[in-house]
Structure 1
Amino acid sequence: MGFKFDWFMKGMLIAVGLAAIWPEPGAHGGWLHPELLNKIGVALIFFLSGLSLSFASLKSGTLQWKVHLLVQFTTFLVFPLIGLLLLHTTGGFMKADLQLGFFYLCALPSTVSSSVALTAAARGNVPAALFNATLSSLIGVVLTPAWLGFVLGKTGVEFPLAKVILDLLIWLVLPLALGQLSRPVLGNWAAKHKKRLSTVDRLTILLLVYTSFADSVAQGVWSHYGAGALIETVVGTALIFGVVLLAVNAVARALGMAEPERIASVFCGSKKTLASGVPMAQLIFGANPALGLILLPIMIYHPLQLAVGGVLAQRWAARERAAAE
């Protein structure tokens, strides 16, 4: 499974470019009414996630406790500690909003679809990957804003943690639960139209990307940063991804994991979610004019993790086939 610069990747570039040349509709107060549209988009994304997620398929992955501990420990402790290290070492040259973006990247949960797809392509333990990626998404509803509240509180910035978690429960968890409850009625229909629903989901994410960057452009945020912010982001995300990927692989080997479980641990433990990260940012940071800059690290990290993950999946699958032969 190699990396493909698919229509969604191109769509992200188009959404950012459109925001740069025509930000007015998606900016705060624009005729798209992003204050309401974004929340409806978040609810739609997570309703579709709940509708497509079969908890019955998670059962066979529940017994791999070493994988669970390693993935969740890496996602919600190791990554945030790396983010804290970045905050303390980059204050002299990196802007505060981009620092916050890097920490937000580190505080996000793992991603479901690409973790499972890459694990399957590499002949890893798919049930363990599905269980951990899903569990990570649920834990992230609480731990992601909690980590952000901790960091912003240290810098003296007021962060309404209770309100943020309430918003996440209303616009994220509730639609997810409603999607699950709808499965007996709509499950077969959703399975039949899986590709179309995936397209709707991705188009909604692109709409949220547009409104995020449109407000940043309208507020003049990007005129203060230029190409330097992009270069810092590319270098920073590559370093973070490389360190975590190597560390998870080494720990999995040290724990004596079998090859399928090690593969699942590496892919789930090194991933960060763009699909949940964009809508969560809309709820957590609200009308922050620097939202586009805050989202930049996860938008760079996403294609990077797919590109490297695709190469690794091909290599590991080829090795498994050779061993079988």
Structure 2
Amino acid sequence: MARPRFLPDNFTLMLIGTVLLASVLPVYGSFVRPLELITIGVIFFLFFLHGAKLSRPAIWAGISHWRLHLLVTAITFVVFPVMGWALRPVLEPLLTPDLYLGVLFLCTLPATVQSAVTLTAVARGNMPAAICSASGSTLMGIVITPLLVGLLLSHTATSSDPLQAMGRIALQLLLPFALGHGLRPWVGPFLQRHAKRMKGLDQSSILLVVYSAFSASVVAGLWSKIPPAALAILVLVCALLLALSMGLSAWLARRFGFSKEDEITIVFCGAQKSLVSGVPMAKVLFEPSLMGVIVLPLMIFHPMQLMLSAWVAGRYAQRQSPAEPVAPVPIKA
């Protein structure tokens, strides 16, 4: 039986379970450093896999559509941060200061790759452009996200200055990504043959990073610092950001005269944020005690964007293609 579109998928349920496990059984004492080293290795492996999966022909097939990529980049790295910054007078009193930092961090992140491309395919959008745009967003985020964090967030919340953070992110994320992509001719066929197993390793890696992040924050008193009312408001804030970004993406695509296929790509590449990139970046940019509260908005936003986008993709897919014949209307005598 197919899962209803507005119910969370299995990975979302596992994320929730991981947060609960870290809340009940966080890592203490001498186990913290080994977990940290394992997490660094897992992140390296995760981005190596993402680089190896990236198809070079798909990049060249979509890269020529510069107007679309420019708009997606503007939505991801300009519109989103401006929305988060403009809402500060309203959000900061309603949320805790740390939760608001988490919302701003969410707004600075690059687009997700896998779900954006998958949803574009379901909705019958421009697939080559989606692959190119989402992948390019991930790479640009390695440079742009630390700069935006340094510009928008309080310097005391970060563990280093933006340039140092950019270097650490490049070492931990860009280097394995480049290595994986360079070795794609040799490892690509293996990954394709074992796609299901690789997906399981991919998700397991994210779960371990999330567990490590929340474990450190729980030890530092995460849940005692977040009032239940602020948590409920955070859910509404994430829903508002998602609705505004998807609606604005669709409106801008139509305003600038893009085709329906391009509009779909713009909506799914511009209005989504990457959990895969976000959690590792947060580990580099923020102190361990702040990690849980900083990534909490992203953890809420992630399942929301998947469930709402799945419904939107279904609506797009139901549209009639211009190539499809129009059924004749019976004329009553």
TM-score (norm 2): 0.91
Counting only pairs closer than 5 Å after superposition, residues 48-59 of structure 1 correspond to structure 2 as 48-59=49-60
The alpha-carbon deviation at position 89 of structure 1 amounts to 3.0
* Alignment partners' CA distance in 2, 1:47 and 1:236: 33
**2:12 maps to 1:5:** no
**2:180 maps to 1:163:** no
Give the aligned partner of residue 330 of structure 2: none
Give the aligned partner of residue 329 of structure 2: none
Give the aligned partner of residue 263 of structure 2: 262
The alpha-carbon deviation at position 253 of structure 1 amounts to 0.6
* Alignment partners' CA distance in 1, 2:195 and 2:299: 24
The alpha-carbon deviation at position 302 of structure 1 amounts to 0.9
How many pairs does the alignment contain?
A: 322
Aligned to 1:261, the other structure's residue is in SS state helix
Residue type of the alignment partner of 2:47: F
Unpaired segments ≥5 residues, structure 1: none
The alpha-carbon deviation at position 144 of structure 1 amounts to 0.5
Counting only pairs closer than 5 Å after superposition, residues 168-247 of structure 1 correspond to structure 2 as 168-247=169-248
Aligned to 1:172, the other structure's residue is in SS state helix
TM-score (norm 1): 0.93
Work out the percentage of aligned pairs sharing the same amino acid. Answer: 38
* Alignment partners' CA distance in 1, 2:185 and 2:83: 42
- Over 3 Å counting, the alpha-carbon distance change for 1:178 and 1:320 in structure 2 is same
Give the aligned partner of residue 42 of structure 2: 41
Give the aligned partner of residue 290 of structure 1: 290
Residue type of the alignment partner of 1:165: M
* Alignment partners' CA distance in 1, 2:157 and 2:18: 33
The alpha-carbon deviation at position 322 of structure 1 amounts to 8.9
* Alignment partners' CA distance in 1, 2:30 and 2:127: 45
* Alignment partners' CA distance in 2, 1:194 and 1:299: 25
The alpha-carbon deviation at position 128 of structure 1 amounts to 0.8
- Over 3 Å counting, the alpha-carbon distance change for 1:161 and 1:195 in structure 2 is same
Unpaired segments ≥5 residues, structure 2: 326-333
Question: Which range moved further: 227-236 or 166-175?
Answer: 227-236
Counting only pairs closer than 5 Å after superposition, residues 292-307 of structure 1 correspond to structure 2 as 292-307=292-307
Aligned to 1:275, the other structure's residue is in SS state helix
Residue type of the alignment partner of 1:315: R
The alpha-carbon deviation at position 18 of structure 1 amounts to 0.6
Counting only pairs closer than 5 Å after superposition, residues 59-208 of structure 1 correspond to structure 2 as 59-153=60-154, 159-208=160-209
Residue type of the alignment partner of 2:126: N
* Alignment partners' CA distance in 2, 1:155 and 1:89: 22
Aligned to 1:139, the other structure's residue is in SS state helix
The alpha-carbon deviation at position 91 of structure 1 amounts to 2.7
The alpha-carbon deviation at position 230 of structure 1 amounts to 2.1
